[in-house]
Amino acid sequence: MTITVERGDTLGEGYRRRITEVLVQGFAEDFEFFSKDPRVLADAFAHMILLDRFFVALVDGEPAAIASVTEGQQECFDPDRREIQRTLGGLRGLVCSFIVRSQFLGAYEGARPGLAEIGFVTTAPQHQGKGVATALMRHLLQLPYDEFVLRDIKDTNAPALGLYRKFGFTESSSRRVRFAGRAGFSAYVSMSLKAVAS
C-alpha cells in the first residue's frame, strides 16, 4: 500500500467526484436528512468543493482521506443553491444550501495570516485504521503555518481526537450542543497546535 498526499487542484477536475465521495462517506450521518444515498449527496456537493483548499491522501492512486486547509478569510466551499436544489429538490435543497452556508462558511473567529484551519478531516471507511489519516495529518503539519486549529470535532469521535492529540494538539475550547441526546454527542471540541520552529 502506497500513501501519497496531493492538493486537490494538483490532481485536477478528474478527481473532484472521488474527493466528494470521500467527504460524503465521512460525514454521511450529518447529511442523512437530505439523502441517505451517498451518490445523490456527491451529486449535490461536488460542484462546491474548492479543490485548491483540499488535500487528498491517495492509496495506490485513489482518494482515501481528505482535509481542507484554509487561512484567514479563505473558504473551502462555494455552494450554488440552484445546483443543490437541482439535485436534492426544491425544499430539501434550499434547507441544505442554508445549512451549508450557515455552518460551513465563515472563517475561524481568530483567523489571521499564518494560522491554518484544518477542517473536514475524514477517511473513507475501507481505509480507516491503516495510517492514512496519520499520513495526511503529518503532511499538513509540514505546511508553512505558525499555528493550526481544528474546530467542531464531536466529543464522541475518539479516533479523531486521539489522532490529533498524538500530533500534539490540545483542546482550546468546547461548545455544548443543544439536544445532545438526539444529536448523539454532547459537545463540539476545538483544538490547536503551535508549529515547531525548524
Residue 20, domain CATH: 3.40.630.30
Q: What is the pTM of this model?
A: 0.93
Mean pLDDT score, 180-191: 76
CB contact set of 156 (below 8 Å; sequence gap of 6+): 184, 185, 186
The tens digit of pLDDT for each residue in 81-116 reads 999 999 999 999 999 999 899 888 887 788 899 999
Number of structural domains in the chain: 1
The tens digit of pLDDT for each residue in 113-149 reads 999 999 999 999 999 999 999 999 999 999 999 999 9
Q: Cell 490532481 appears where?
A: 11
Mean pLDDT score, 172-194: 80
Mode of pairing for the β-strands spanning 147-154 and 115-123:
parallel
Report the distance separating Cα 75 and Cα 86, nearest Å: 23
pLDDT at 182: 57
pLDDT at 180: 54
pLDDT at 198: 55
The per-residue b/e assignment along 13-23, b for 16 or more CB within 10 angstroms, e otherwise, is: eebbebbbbbb
Report the distance separating Cα 7 and Cα 9, nearest Å: 6
Q: In this structure, are residues 56 and 11 in contact, taking their beta carbons and an 8 Å threshold? A: yes
Residue with the bigger pLDDT between 6 and 197: it is: 6
* Angle at alpha carbon of residue 190, lines to 170 and 68, rounded to 5°: 105
Which domain covers residue 13, as residue numbers?
Answer: 3-194
Report the distance separating Cα 185 and Cα 183, nearest Å: 6
Share the mean pLDDT of the chain.
92
Q: In this structure, are residues 59 and 132 in contact, taking their beta carbons and an 8 Å threshold? A: yes
Q: How far lies 198's CA from each of 57, 145, 182, 191, 195, in Å?
A: 24, 12, 45, 22, 9
